[in-house]
Structure 1
């Protein structure tokens, strides 16, 4: 009787558990390399990774724009082989001694291959020289710490000194809380640098990608001479839910989307990713001295 009871208990204890054999991938799963197939987060469309790349990392069914890393963004924007990175050695420390911050930075660096959450440099677009800055949403949610602010400020100063148009892609969850007030100070610092660009009459094009929120949206992202946005990109300061709880009102379903901001005058144009490079080249050509000379 005791033996039967033991066997029954062992049987019930294994119910619902996945055996080691069941954990092994099926033959089909083994034959599909990781990353070969992508699923659209919006409509559920399944496509091959090469197909996604051919469509500029957007869904061919619903036009959903996938998040892309900074290196991919540069390759889609600038002439092939023209990019030269600047200020690559600027990294964050832990000025406030925030617990676990160094470990978090190390994990982000290993996952993205970047030392910080922004990539800056110079290159050409249709042969015209430009400066470029790209925030990476995969590096601690694209948060802006002192190193990100410093890198962006330096590329703004470089653009002003060399009279080269600046193209800046924003993607951020806001200020990096681990750096406290030092992170918030970057809002003022980048805004001052943009003022110098304005005084030098250098073009600044701000491109809003998903998501652009918090201190980034409240500073340089909103200060472009021309502000473009990708379809569906979230652009605002506080989150929709926080605002609804604060004002005790229901907000529109499309609140803070690129299209909503276009309707209310916060962006100049919503541009599909496949058309973005041509739109940027046209803006640079129109607003640069070299562009006017070539037009004549």
Structure 2
């Protein structure tokens, strides 16, 4: 894919507690915060946002790192340029105090800003609440954001923090004990549903991490775990990015089914008639999903 010129996306900024970041928006209806993976808001992340907007929601993309619209695929950008761009974005995350890369039992400080953004977009866009999807290094942000009751539909796509360099880090996720307790309480009290996506072989998202989420959230956690042969074979990297780089956007494909499940979660939680907001009936777990155990 070539670079995306951002046609069709409105551009703005959002400021909270002295920090201003750029924002891209597309669509109308309840807000869904789309947090990109490394190296940034690529054309494939924008394509996902377009699907969210077509659903009847407002896709809101905060620029946390990278250059919006820049294509990072080595096949089109070249291996050297792609590698340098990815390394630059990753370095920014690693040295920033806003991102918790290695610590366990801690939510990244940027989550506070993201919660404020979600509250602002909820007021701006209306609807029963807000959705959020995080990818890779931002995957766990959607979970920590769900400590706020306005977040009704959190999706964790290949959540990779903390980096699983040790057994304890592999068996946890980047959320504080306080935030996790709040999310767990919402799952028990208000029928919150949390969705997680991963490829089974992905070393950045070990199976122990999803086992931890199952223990902590119980039946409220829906895990979609895909085999390697479900990944787009044209992707350069090993299977990792379920909704973007490794998506095969064809009916009957497991990654397409996973994408459809994510969109259905947003549709059910944010667009379906509500009988009391958060207490509305949760969508049933997808039956016969090729990625579910």
TM-score by length of 1: 0.37
- Normalized per residue, the structure richer in helix is 1
TM-score by length of 2: 0.37
**Larger Cα-atom Rg:** 1
Greater relative contact order, per chain length (Cα 8 Å cut-off, separation 6+): 2
